[in-house]
Amino acid sequence: MTTVIDGNAVASDLRDRLTGRIDDLATEGVTPTLATVLMSDDPASETYVSMKQSDCEEVGIATRDVEIDPDAPAERLFDTLDDLNSDPEVDGVLVQMPTPDQVADSEVIRRLDPMKDVDGFHPENVGLLVRGDPRYKPCTPHGVQHLLDHAGVETEGADVVIVGRSNIVGKPLANMLLQKTAGGNATVTVCHSRTDDLAAHTGRADIVVAAAGVPELVDGSMLAEDSVVIDVGVNRVETEDGSTLVGDVAFDSASELASAITPVPGGVGPMTRAMLLYNTVKAAHLRRDLAFDG
Ligand code: NDP
């Protein structure tokens, strides 16, 4: 019998905890503030930004909504980031990716004050994570780690196979699970599109994390009995009636083997959103030298 891990419930618990931290900050006269920067007219990006803002408002984080003409020169964005970096009231800055062609994403990430980099993508924050002294863990892998912990899944000594090596999911997650700390101490294999015989890897894993962006790439035939399956993928696929969201895991066949599994939607997605709030509240503490115990 498989357990379906309810990401909405776990995210809701985390948001409640953060609301308590935000109330404590209010007694010190501090309101955590997140600035979102959108340089795109892509409807999906607009939706993501407005979802992030309403998540913030729900828990008491203030938002700044900065929109930049997608045809503007890169300097316009960099000047905006400089202003936000030096604004003492802004704790976190999130630049919605992708940015237009004239702006290199890597330059945007480097331009941010690392203390305000609540995505955790700045090279300084990546370095701290790799060294085992994380400041801001990137939201999606942090969400995966939190879900595993919440579901009582022991990572110490576990054979973990991550499918996907992106800078935002696969690589940081591999680093996090490797650390000599609680929620780490796993033996980690990272697979990618050039991996020879993916099923040979997933089929011997205690924990499989699928983050490839390929609909239903991992099915039950590729899993060991009683493994834990975390599905990061979000893929929109056409159906007879329109379209639907599916993950990177074939849920029905995987559920027959897995001891625990995350659904899509309702698994990792809500955790990613909650972890942005977590990092923003953490930033509000760190920038004022206040202790933050999560
Ligand atoms: P990327 O496209 O950046 O990376 C995908 C990775 O998967 C690459 O490393 C790629 O290999 C690997 N890959 C692709 N095809 C295969 C294959 N057939 N076999 C093995 N590996 C493969 O994606 P992201 O990491 O940004 O996102 C992954 C998925 O997670 C997407 O569906 C995305 O929408 C979703 N996502 C969900 C989030 C959430 O909150 N739930 C947040 C972020 C992402 P290679 O490096 O060789 O190209």
* pLDDT beneath 50: ranges in the chain: none
**pLDDT tens profile 160-202:** 999 999 999 999 999 999 999 999 999 999 999 999 999 999 9
> Would 27-131+272-286 and 139-267 be classified into the same CATH topology?
yes
Q: What are phi and psi of 105, to 5 degrees?
A: -55, -40
The pLDDT value given to residue 293: 84
The pLDDT value given to residue 134: 97
Domain boundaries, the chain: 27-131+272-286, 139-267
CB distance 209 to ligand 1 below 6 Å: no
Superfamily of domain 139-267: NAD(P)-binding Rossmann-like Domain (3.40.50.720)
CATH class of the structural domain 27-131+272-286: alpha beta
Ligand 1: residue whose CA is nearest its atom 3: 166
Q: Is 164 annotated as a binding residue?
A: yes
What ipTM describes this predicted complex? 0.99
- Testing ligand 1's pocket by substitution, the residue of 189, 201, 234, 264 carrying the most ligand atoms inside 8 A of its CB is 234
Q: What are phi and psi of 151, to 5 degrees?
A: -85, 5
**pLDDT tens profile 195-236:** 999 999 999 999 999 999 999 999 999 999 999 999 999 999
- Separation of 284 CA from ligand 1 center, angstroms? 31
Cis-peptide, bond into residue 265, ω within 30° of zero: yes
- Catalytic-residue membership of 96: yes
Q: Is 234 annotated as a binding residue?
A: yes
The pLDDT value given to residue 35: 98
